[in-house]
Amino acid sequence: MAITMTKGQVGLTGNSAVAYAMKQINPDVCAAYPITPSTAIIEDFSGYVADGAVETELITVESEHSAMSACIGASAAGARVMTATSSQGLALMWEMLYIASGMRLPIVLANVNRALSAPINIHCDHSDSMGARDAGWIQIYSETVQEAYDNMFQAVRIAENSNVLLPVMVCFDGFITSHAIENISLVDDAEVKDFVGEYNPATMLLNTDNPVTYGAMTLPDTYIEFKHQQSQAMSRSKDIALEAGKEFGKRFGREYGLFDSYRLEDAEVAIVIMNSAAGTTKVAVDELRKQGKKVGVLRPRLFRPFPFREIANALKGIKAIAILDRVDSMNDFGGPLFNEVRSALYDLETRPKVFGRIYGLGGRDYKVKDALGVFDELYKVVETGKIDTLTKYITL
């Protein structure tokens, strides 16, 4: 779709906003195989390619595995590379996700969160990106259309930073964010170009004057050193992400941190929750605040690397915390967000009571009443000092 730049706001779906961000970034290569609910990203972007609005080489392939393979080859050759996918598409890329990160290739992927089969489901949960959480990709989660749009620019800055050089996955909720229309503020094309800068890779396969090797085999004498360097880069990316969010705020008035705190400063109880459901939870918080109850929300934004120290510091002093996952780790011990936040709180001198709840799988609605129910549970824990059920499903 054609979008006319305006000084005010424009109504866009999450998919169209991300496609427009890609158009403004103007990557050298985009290799993709569309899949619901991310299809419209590539549909819209292919329109920009056809209209000559970008200089991108759009590579249409026969599968998502091939899409990531082509992205890897293009990135190793020195190109700025972007793509998009969802659910089974991300799962089909599994092998190549590890190769992209292991080769230290700064590919940016928009992942529109959708449940993994079986049974087949095209609606939102976080099983796709959470399944890839240990693949060596930086992961940024987006609450709104505006944030998904803004995160694409920051992802390029983070990925291509010389102290990082890792791929980045920008996640936002399928249909809830991807297909909902929201009024957002667009950034001027020239300002985007200045913010993301030119990509000047230190090495590339096509530079025959300085040849390099990608994809070589390593044995026990060297493999762990490669992984250690990759791990150190992931650790460094936290500060780079924070810097990118602050600079974005200075330039465009919308600053982003490692996480979003909402009415948390004096909270007695809190919910930790990701992506669009955080907005629903904030409505519940506002209702309870009117009743004089001190409640709050923490929404993790950067999940890889996991800012455990900062999250623990933000939650210290709170009496009881519920951590809500839109995915089940199938470990009989809750979801991944629950496990990681609970671990982060372990070293606090005074630990809060913590329990986990799994909600909204396969697109099941998470409503304000569900959040209110969790807050009721939290206050019961504060009153009794006991947690009846450590982890369980809600919204059933």
**Does 37 sit behind a cis peptide bond, omega within 30 degrees of 0 on the bond before it?**
yes
Is residue 325 in some structural domain? yes
- Residue 376 belongs to a domain with what CATH number? 3.40.50.920
The answer on 312 and 235 residing in a single domain is no
Whether residues 231 and 330 fall in one domain: no
pLDDT tens for 129-163 read 999 999 999 999 999 999 999 999 999 999 999 99
DSSP 304: E
Average pLDDT, the chain: 97
What CATH number does residue 70 fall under?
3.40.50.970
pLDDT tens digits for range 222-232: 999 999 999 99
The secondary structure of residue 26, as a DSSP letter, is -
Does residue 250 register a pLDDT over 70? Answer: yes
Q: Is it the case that residue 5 has pLDDT exceeding 60?
A: no
pLDDT tier, 100 (very low <50, low <70, confident <90, very high otherwise): very high
DSSP annotation of 351 reads P
Q: Which residues pair with 140 in a beta bridge?
A: 170, 302
Q: Which of the pair, 3 or 396, is modelled with greater confidence? A: 396
Mean local confidence (pLDDT), 376-396: 97
Q: Would residue 3 count as lying in a domain?
A: no
Going by pLDDT thresholds of 50, 70 and 90, the confidence category of residue 6 is low
Q: 141 with 274: CB under 8 angstroms?
A: yes
DSSP H/E element including 29: strand 29-32
Whether residue 7 has pLDDT greater than 80:
no
- Indicate whether 2 belongs to any domain: no
pLDDT score at 3: 59
**Which residue, 202, 235, 252, sits at the end of a domain?**
252
Q: pLDDT digit string (tens) for 191-214?
A: 999 999 999 998 999 998 999 999
Please tell me the predicted confidence (pLDDT) of residue 293. 98
Q: Are 263 and 255 in contact (CB under 8 A)?
A: no
Verify that 144 and 283 share a domain, yes or no.
no
Query: Residue 197: what pLDDT?
Result: 97
Q: Are residues 386 and 269 part of one domain?
A: yes
pLDDT in tens, 308-341: 999 999 999 999 999 999 999 999 999 999 999 9
Tell me the pLDDT band of 4, cut-offs 50, 70 and 90: low
What is the percent of the chain where pLDDT is above 90?
96
The confidence score (pLDDT) of residue 225 equals 97
Q: What is the pLDDT of residue 216?
A: 87
Print the domain residue range for 382. 259-393
Q: Report cis status (omega within 30 of 0) of the bond before 167.
A: no
**Model pTM?**
0.97
Residues 330-357, mean pLDDT to the nearest whole number:
97
Residue 215: per-residue pLDDT:
87
- In this prediction, residues 29-38 reach a mean pLDDT of 98
Residue 4 lies inside a defined structural domain of this protein: no
Q: What is the mean pLDDT of residues 246-275?
A: 98
Residues 122, 194 share a domain: yes
Q: Give per-residue burial for 35-56: e unless 16+ CB within 10 Å, then b.
A: bbbbbbbbebbbebbeeeebeb
Cα end-to-end span (Å), the chain: 38
Are residues 248 and 155 both part of a single domain? yes
Taking a C-beta distance cutoff of 8 angstroms, is the pair 92, 129 a contact? no
Q: Is 38 left (phi over 0), alpha (psi -120 to 50) or beta?
A: alpha
**Cβ contacts of 10 within 8 Å, gap of 6 or more:** 3, 4, 183, 184, 186
Pick the last residue of a domain from 252, 281, 302: 252
Question: CA–CA separation, 67 vs 113, rounded Å?
Answer: 18
Give the residue carrying structure tokens 């996700």: 97
Does a structural domain hold residue 335?
Answer: yes
How many domains does the structure of the chain reveal? 2
151 and 106: one domain?
yes
pLDDT at 1 over 60: no
Tens-place pLDDT, residues 284-293: 999 999 999 9
Kindly state whether residues 320 and 233 are assigned to the same domain: no
**Residues 13, 52: one domain?**
yes
Residue 81 Cα to chain centre, angstroms: 18
Q: Is the pLDDT at 97 greater than 80, yes or no?
A: yes
**pLDDT band per the 50, 70, 90 thresholds, residue 2:** low
**Are 239 and 265 contained in the same domain?**
no
